[in-house]
Structures are given as structure tokens and as C-alpha cells.
Amino acid sequence: MFPVSRFRVEDESMRPALEPGDYVLVNRWAYRVRPPSPGDLIVVVDPEVPTRYLVKRVSETFGPRGVRVTGDNEAVSRDSRTFGPVALERIIGKVWLRLKR
């Protein structure tokens, strides 16, 4: 599998770090060498709707068990406050580059 994937951003919970319409390049291998750390921007499989992806920021890590994610725009974000921690195997990768709209 090619280590870099491209995603298009929708919705506003990561403003101003990511705006709707931006693209992000995601490094799928980032966490092979070291675990996620708070502050990382990551793309995960939505725990509530497994056919779609979310882009959020890691707010807390629980070692091998998973991470908590939150949107930067907390007032409107749907994130770990609603669906709880996200297991590591649901992480697609780390946002490596933002292609600003």
C-alpha cells in the first residue's frame, strides 16, 4: 500500500487549521515508527459510521489502546466527547501536508 493518501476536507470543526475544501496528504506509515502524540492531526475511520473518515486532532493518548480526538472548533465538533476513544487500528494516518484551498 502506497504510504501517502490524499483526502478532501469537509465541514468546519477543524477551522482554522483546516478549512472545508482543503486537501490533506496523510502519511499512513507515520505510526509504525512512533506512537501518536497529543497535537497530531490524524485521519480516522468514523467510529459511528464505519464507511467514512474523520479528520481530528489527538488530544490524549492511551498507549496501545487508543487515542482521544477532538475538533479544534470544540463548540461545533462531534468527536471523542460523543463517541469516546478511538482504537489505534482505526487510525488511517497522520496529516503530513495541507493543500490549502
Partner 1 sequence: MSLLHSLARALDRISPAPIAYAHCDIPCGIYDPHHAQLAAHTVIRMIDLINQLEKPGPNATPEQRQEYTAKLARYVLVKEQHAEIAKNELRILWGDYFKPDHVKTFPELNDLVWKTLKTASKARQEINLQAAEDLLKGTNDIASIFWKTKGLETITTKAPYPTERQTVYPRMK
Residue ranges that bind partner 1, judged by CB under 8 A: 5-15, 18, 20, 22-24, 26, 43, 46, 49, 52-56, 71, 73, 75-79, 81-82, 97, 99-101
Q: Do residues 66 and 8 lie in contact, with contact meaning Cβ atoms separated by under 8 Å?
A: no
Least separation in angstroms between residue 77's CB and partner 1 is: 6
Q: Do residues 53 and 46 lie in contact, with contact meaning Cβ atoms separated by under 8 Å?
A: yes
* Pick 1 or 63: Cβ nearer partner 1: 1
* Pick 44 or 66: Cβ nearer partner 1: 44
Least separation in angstroms between residue 32's CB and partner 1 is: 20
Which 8-state DSSP code applies to residue 86? B
Q: Do residues 71 and 56 lie in contact, with contact meaning Cβ atoms separated by under 8 Å?
A: yes
CA distance 81 to 69: 8
Least separation in angstroms between residue 25's CB and partner 1 is: 8
C-alpha cell of 40?
Answer: 497530531
Taking the CB of residue 100, how many other CB atoms lie within 10 A of it? 9
* Pick 34 or 100: Cβ nearer partner 1: 100
* Pick 63 or 87: Cβ nearer partner 1: 87
